[in-house]
Structure 1
Amino acid sequence: MPSWIHSCLRKADKNKDNKMSFKELQNFLKELNIQVDDSYARKIFRECDRSQTDSLEDEEIEAFYKMLTQRKEIDRTFEEAAGSGQTLSVDQLVTFLQHQQREEAAGPALALSLIERYEPSETAKAQRQMTKDGFLMYLLSADGSAFNLAHRRVYQDMGQPLSHYLVSSSHNTYLLEDQLTGPSSTEAYIRALCKGCRCLELDCWDGPNQEPIIYHGYTFTSKILFCDVLRAIRDYAFKASPYPVILSLENHCSLEQQRVMARHLSTTLGSMLLDRPLEGVTTSLPSPEQLKGKILLKGKKLGGLLPPSGEGGPEATVVSDEDEAAEMEDEAVRSRVQHKPKEDKLRLVKELSDMVIYCKSVHFRGFSSPGSPGQAFYEMASFSENRTLRLLQESGTSLVRHNVNHLSRIYPAGWRTDSSNYSPVEMWNGGCQIVALNFQTPGPEMDVYQGRFQDNGACGYVLKPAFLRDPNSTFNPRNPAQGPWWTRKRLNIWVITGQQLPKVNKSKNSIVDPKVTVEVHGVGRDVASRQTAVVTNNGFNPWWDTEFEFEVAVPELALVRFVVEDYDASSKNDFIGQSTIPLNSLKQGYRHVHLLSKNGDQHPSATLFVKVSLRD
């Protein structure tokens, strides 16, 4: 047993009896940075405890460590890199980083920093070498992750107009469950903000005691106070990201309660609220960088960017309410709940109107043609998912061009009363920025969403590819012909093994029968999916050793999703974990894919070991 393990053991052996209780072994593993699922550790502990004393001694400890960290596939990879040696020299490590890992910065400096960071043996470190244990720790670390470590921070240009970014956006943010009877909660806003969401929806209605409330109109969802929601937003808006938050107001309030809304907005949000155009930013949308720490209102507005001058203007003016009417195409919902007349006209008070600066809601009047003035840069339209799909089909290139200078918000179809989601990928392919999903509903659509916005430091803004930012773009998302976006790649993914896959079905005797599906999401012709065989009765270290090949024509729009399921011959497979990685954030070489649970949280120790290669 290597000497460094002994020094770690001495540290962990709190009562110095040279025996290790299960608790002490857990501390020992923490000391080694080895993540392990408790039930697996306990199972191996029992197997090693031959003396049945509920503690492990000398050889038993060594056996425990070996069983826990034994990875034949890592041994194989290590031997390829080290030849006959017991350790990797700096040169051998550099060769591995260059040829296998395709690290751009592969050189002695990177190799030494990895040895410094991950090699547990002081002796090896002093000799500038990496042992097999150090090699395993490197591969399990953020540096060995399939998701590019450099993309875990904000690395993109944040100085372009807002319309050049995809924006993490939520639909009916206040709901925790379905659209008809579910609870509304400020908790839902906090969750969305903590997940990096930057565009929230507030459906405002008249409430008792002159206090506006938020709920899903004409339905039986519960109600929450507008002022409580604003407080939650104020407290959590910038915890996950410093970049601007957009509040999408759906205003159904009377004039009196609109004034109350305006008052709450200014007293609760204070200087966070953007209530006038930024200096000099009057011809195009400001950038996320310029709007750091700011909250913007999206809603109806009287007049243009600068409020109409001259006092004695009308106290309240009527504006068209077609969009809200469209969104209450909850017609589907409405007919099932209570019959309400369709209101097309909304009277709007000046105080609230003046708080809307760069996100004035307008009804979409068609794409501008050379002769017509078209939409002003600060005006934005909302489209239902079905209308967007129709626009993509009929005039995809016009939609792409429209979205270069204008924000577009997409929301789920009215029939999705169960809060189900649509795939956001097609909308992003058309350059739509504010693609609103039901954050409260887990599933493949939210997985892909979270994967897309894991990029750029999970700050909620991801820069669109250049061809979606070019006002003369000829890109057609439904049928991409040759063009700057067309850079065909061959993606090979070799799914080697899995580690510590959790039991989903908690019944005592259930053992996982895992299989892996690798999916590519992107433009239509790139969409593909392949599956491994099922490994029976093994969640601890299943071997698949299966290679898949994909051809990707528009890599800048592609995402790769790894899904692990527990195969069940008689019913639907149980979901075990998944990870979705934008293709441009996927690292090549031998990597661990760290799996997320159904709700998008990190599993402490469940991983896939894969090898990725991407060639022209």
Structure 2
Amino acid sequence: MAAPPPTDAKAASPAKDPKLGVPKAEKAELQAGGGSAAEAQKARTVESLNSTLSTYLKTLYEEVEKKYKLGSKQGLAEWLADEQQAPAVDAEILKDGSFSHFANYFTSGTGNAMKPAEAVDGSWPISNYFISSSHNTYLTGNQLASAASVDAYKNVLKRGCRCVEVDVWDGEPPSDSESSSDEEAQKTSGSGVKEKVKKEKKSLRKRLELRFGRKASPPPKETPKAASPPPPAAEQRIAPWRSNSSSRAEPRVLHGYTLTKEMSFREVCQTIRDYAFASSNLPLIVSLEVHTSPAQQEIMVELMKEYWRGMLVDLPLDPSEASEQIKLPTLKDLENKILVKVKRVSHKPIAAAAKPATLQAPAQLTPQQTNESAQSEISSDSEDAGVAPEKPPAPKPKVIDALSKLGVYFGGYHYKGLDVPEANIPTHVFSLSEKTLMEVHETSPAALFKHNKNFFMRAYPKGLRVTSSNLNPAIFWRQGVQIVALNWQRWDGGMMQNEAMFAGTAGWVLKPEGYRGASSGTLPKDAIEHHNLDLSIEFLAGQDIPLPPEEDDPKDFKPYIKVELHVEKPEEGEAEAIPGGGASNKGDYKKKTRTAKTTNPDFGREIVEFKGVKRVTEELTFVRFKVMDDERISDDLAAWACFRLDRLQPGIRMLHLYDSNGVVSKGVLLVRIKKTVSKA
């Protein structure tokens, strides 16, 4: 059994982990995620310039004026075209080319280092896009002991996420007396499934508590019913479920076999209804992980149809198409629609004993593995992985027809290979953990790339990432995977790259031409042109740099800038094992500046250069800037920015920063960027 990554092994608890942030619904649109945060123009302006920035801008103006004569229309146009590589319309804000208008060009946001996103072309079938996606959306912290909250859904939807995940389990009966007859009937029938699961769950919980040193209250099913909370305000109240069986339990949402807390599926449905299109009119995918009984699945269907009425796609757009030949619609066809991803019903006979379905099926634990099992493949998507209890778990409930039919364009299938019949069903989707995907990349690279040009695939973090760390999404985007699910509550390189990919978009980004279904490329290395890169960043000064979480005195702040390039590795194009299995989201090339002082640092025009970087694809290469606090033991992250290479604009630029919790800050860096991309 593989050991967990070092960063996860050292983590103690969410309270002591500065990279974990409880999602907040208030002003979530100013938090990174790839949606509205990048479009908040007011947050991208600079109200005033400190003396250091003003001095440097004056110096730069004199240099540019001497070379281009900004006072003339021709000189202004030449500077914009040559150095800034900016549209001619920018001349309107520069007006007469005086210094005051030159400074206004940068303070107004026009001189932003981030190139504005182009409007998405919605004419392609939906498998031709990358989709901003969340993993275990309901969790507010780590994967083992955090709470579930509807605020987590509000948060990611307001930030531009277009694929959310919901793990659904059987709800608690209204009272012991009402459920006792059902339990007794179940015991006398000889099934004993509930009791068996209870014991396994209890045993695993004990092991989790021993492993992580935390005592938590037992899962809801094992506790006396708590007093009801005060009723919500009338306008927030959820309408009661309309059914003659109102005494039945309702489904709940939680991370099964862990210490995480729960919430009701009804609350999640209401929140999705209210916020699905808060930041984007492009379709929202709801990825269901179903652990509920058939009776509870009926309630799920009832709730989704009730709350998402008018938005839910529950029938093909063209009802004349045969079920297994339904074609994927275009993106434009699905505006303001909710799409359900759910396991598709298989009408084959159920095997007498549960068998491993994928490359990461649960394994029998040995005594030596007992302590490790708490951190083993704890995944929300059991199509590919799951926690391994001491005894084989009860078979997962079969998805009923009524629920399965809601997966009109996203029918989930167990991954058994890329040459099986279901791999050619236009509306199928395979969900694989990062570990399994790396194995497929090594064994069937051409088949993997061909599949992902036409059909959906979803990648999610392996279960060892118990502290909600993220995989490196760029590796999977470069394999053509459309849905790369990330833990949005953690601020690491994975989420920073996600911001760069989707910044200022509506959460769906058209793939590079060679990655689309109409292209003839057989592997990423020949599907898209690769280039060589020379990149130079001159750092002049900074202003209003946010302090790291544990720092409160600007005089003690010693910032330096670390620049990282995330570039395709040679192994990615050659179908070889990727170093580290793609687990790390750190940059492939790293350089840093000298250390400066205070929140208004002077970097003295220091230049950081990357020369002759190979295998660069501009749409799938990322440049990350991290402002670090120089400490004796461990340097803390104070602020950051991340760019897709094709959207990092050259010239004199204001580089706007997010703070360490991913919130737009007033912090800026004045930089001068030179970028040369040439044929390999």
Of 546, 565, 574, the residue aligned with 2:607 is 546
Amino acid at match of 2:621: A
Question: How many angstroms apart in 2 are the aligned matches of 1:199 and 1:391?
Answer: 24
Of 516, 523, 531, the residue aligned with 2:592 is 531
Answering whether residue 665 of structure 2 is matched by residue 603 of structure 1, we say yes
Query: Shift of residue 345 of structure 1?
Result: 4.7
Question: How many angstroms apart in 2 are the aligned matches of 1:363 and 1:351?
Answer: 19
Of 79, 84, 87, the residue aligned with 1:101 is 84
Of 37, 41, 58, the residue aligned with 1:75 is 58
Query: Shift of residue 511 of structure 1?
Result: 3.0
Amino acid at match of 1:172: N
Q: Which structure is richer in relative contact order (CA contacts within 8 A, separation 6 or more)?
A: 2
Of 486, 493, 498, the residue aligned with 2:530 is 486
> 1:164: which partner in 2?
128
Give SS of 1:539's match. coil
Answering whether residue 649 of structure 2 is matched by residue 556 of structure 1, we say no
Amino acid at match of 1:398: A
Of 97, 100, 118, the residue aligned with 1:130 is 97
Tell me the number of residue pairs that the alignment of Structure 1 and Structure 2 aligns: 520
> 2:516: which partner in 1?
469
Q: 1:345 to 1:537 in 2, by over 3 A?
A: closer
Q: TM-score, normalising length from structure 2?
A: 0.70
Question: How many angstroms apart in 1 are the aligned matches of 2:538 and 2:601?
Answer: 19
> 2:581: which partner in 1?
none
> 2:546: which partner in 1?
502
Query: Which runs of 5 or more residues in structure 2 are unaligned?
Result: 1-41, 175-248, 364-374, 380-385, 571-586
Answering whether residue 488 of structure 2 is matched by residue 439 of structure 1, we say yes
Query: Shift of residue 538 of structure 1?
Result: 6.2
Question: How many angstroms apart in 1 are the aligned matches of 2:307 and 2:527?
Answer: 49
Matches within 5 A, 1:575-594: 575-594=637-656
> 1:44: which partner in 2?
none
Query: Shift of residue 99 of structure 1?
Result: 1.8
> 1:612: which partner in 2?
674
> 1:35: which partner in 2?
47
Deviations for 1:526-559, whole angstroms, at most 9, x for unmatched residues?
9322211222456344334214124243223111
Q: 1:399 to 1:293 in 2, by over 3 A?
A: same
Answering whether residue 409 of structure 2 is matched by residue 358 of structure 1, we say yes
Query: Shift of residue 592 of structure 1?
Result: 1.2
> 1:146: which partner in 2?
113
- Contact 2:541 2:601 survives alignment (8 Å): no
Of 522, 528, 532, the residue aligned with 2:567 is 522
Q: 1:615 to 1:249 in 2, by over 3 A?
A: closer
Structure 1 window deviating more from structure 2 (521-530 vs 351-360): it is 521-530
Answering whether residue 99 of structure 2 is matched by residue 114 of structure 1, we say no
Q: 1:394 to 1:472 in 2, by over 3 A?
A: farther
Q: 1:549 to 1:141 in 2, by over 3 A?
A: farther
Question: How many angstroms apart in 2 are the aligned matches of 1:441 and 1:85?
Answer: 46
- Contact 1:317 1:349 survives alignment (8 Å): no
Of 612, 633, 648, the residue aligned with 1:571 is 633
> 2:269: which partner in 1?
230
- Contact 2:540 2:669 survives alignment (8 Å): no
- Contact 2:357 2:416 survives alignment (8 Å): no
Matches within 5 A, 1:46-445: 68=51, 71-83=54-66, 88-103=71-86, 105-106=87-88, 110-111=90-91, 113-115=92-94, 128-149=95-116, 151=117, 154-208=118-172, 209=174, 210-279=249-318, 283-302=326-345, 332-333=377-378, 339=390, 341-368=392-419, 374-445=423-494
- Contact 1:318 1:345 survives alignment (8 Å): no
Q: 1:333 to 1:92 in 2, by over 3 A?
A: closer
Query: Shift of residue 488 of structure 1?
Result: 3.0
Q: 1:407 to 1:387 in 2, by over 3 A?
A: same
Deviations for 1:573-601, whole angstroms, at most 9, x for unmatched residues?
11121111111111121111101112221
Query: Shift of residue 419 of structure 1?
Result: 1.3
Query: Shift of residue 450 of structure 1?
Result: 1.3
Question: How many angstroms apart in 2 are the aligned matches of 1:148 and 1:300?
Answer: 39
Give SS of 2:408's match. strand
Question: How many angstroms apart in 1 are the aligned matches of 2:399 and 2:70?
Answer: 73
Amino acid at match of 1:98: A
Structure 1 window deviating more from structure 2 (357-366 vs 484-493): it is 484-493
Q: 1:596 to 1:70 in 2, by over 3 A?
A: closer
Q: 1:92 to 1:414 in 2, by over 3 A?
A: same
Question: How many angstroms apart in 2 are the aligned matches of 1:509 and 1:487?
Answer: 42
**Structure (1 or 2) with the larger CA radius of gyration:** 1
- Contact 2:541 2:600 survives alignment (8 Å): no
Question: How many angstroms apart in 1 are the aligned matches of 2:353 and 2:502?
Answer: 35
- Contact 2:252 2:264 survives alignment (8 Å): yes
Q: 1:437 to 1:373 in 2, by over 3 A?
A: closer
Percent identity (aligned):
30
- Contact 1:192 1:439 survives alignment (8 Å): yes
Question: How many angstroms apart in 1 are the aligned matches of 2:541 and 2:154?
Answer: 37
How much is the aligned-residue C-alpha RMSD, in angstroms? 3.2
Question: How many angstroms apart in 2 are the aligned matches of 1:575 and 1:531?
Answer: 14
Give SS of 1:388's match. helix
Q: 1:468 to 1:337 in 2, by over 3 A?
A: closer
Q: TM-score, normalising length from structure 1?
A: 0.77
Question: How many angstroms apart in 2 are the aligned matches of 1:142 and 1:396?
Answer: 43
> 1:42: which partner in 2?
none
Q: 1:532 to 1:422 in 2, by over 3 A?
A: same
Amino acid at match of 1:428: W
Query: Shift of residue 610 of structure 1?
Result: 2.8
Q: 1:323 to 1:606 in 2, by over 3 A?
A: farther
Amino acid at match of 1:563: K
Query: Shift of residue 346 of structure 1?
Result: 2.6
Q: 1:508 to 1:558 in 2, by over 3 A?
A: closer
Amino acid at match of 2:443: E
Structure 1 window deviating more from structure 2 (134-143 vs 218-227): it is 134-143
Q: 1:449 to 1:340 in 2, by over 3 A?
A: farther
- Contact 1:262 1:352 survives alignment (8 Å): yes
Question: How many angstroms apart in 2 are the aligned matches of 1:185 and 1:573?
Answer: 32
Amino acid at match of 2:430: A
Give SS of 1:142's match. coil
Query: Which runs of 5 or more residues in structure 1 are unaligned?
Result: 1-29, 37-64, 116-127, 305-313
